[in-house]
Each structure stands twice: as C-alpha cells, then as structure tokens.
Amino acid sequence: MAYEQEFDRMEFDRERVDRAMSPPRAPSPGIAAVLSVLVPGLGQVYAGRMLAGAVWFVATAVAYSAVLLPGFLVHAFCIWSAYRSCERW
C-alpha cells in the first residue's frame, strides 16, 4: 500500500517536472495589443521587452501632454508595436 502511494507521488512529481521543463508559450499578439490599449507599453512588457515598454509609456505620456492628436498617433503605433513584438517572439 505504501509503495503504491509513493509511486503515485513520483508520477505526480514527474508530470510537474515535465511541465516545468517545457519551453515557454509564446505571448499572444492580441493580448499584447489589448494591454497596450489599456496602458501604453504594457503590451511590450508582456512580450518581454521591459525597456521598450518603459520607452513607449514615457513617449505616449509626453505625446498626450503635448497635444491630443499626436498622443493618439503615438498610442496607436505603440499598440501596433506590441502586436508585432509578440509575432516575432
């Protein structure tokens, strides 16, 4: 009886190790785009590009503070960039 329980536990551990050793799943371009709509640069961070996310966040904030139209254009380009970042991942 104890042997069967130990065997079951070893099988569970093997499954956990297999999951941990599998390659990471690629980020979704759609999720990256939605995140960048909510917060400029967050889609880049989701794709693993931390510096690019920070740069897009600051650039979009500066563009919105300057005038509304450039802010929208920079924000749209940020969303496109986040989408492309995940496609190339």
Pairwise CA distance, residues 56 & 82, whole Å:
10
- What number is the average pLDDT over the span 53-71? 90
Are the beta carbons of 42 and 86 closer than 8 angstroms?
no
Q: Taking 80 as the threshold, does the pLDDT of residue 74 lie above it? A: yes
- The confidence score (pLDDT) of residue 66 equals 85
User: How many residues are listed for the chain in this entry?
Assistant: 89
Q: What is the DSSP string of 40-84?
A: TTHHHHHTT-HHHHHHHHHHHHHHHHH-HHHHHHHHHHHHHHHHH
Express each pLDDT in 16-31 by its tens digit: 666 767 777 889 999 9
Domain boundaries of the chain, sorted by first residue? 2-87
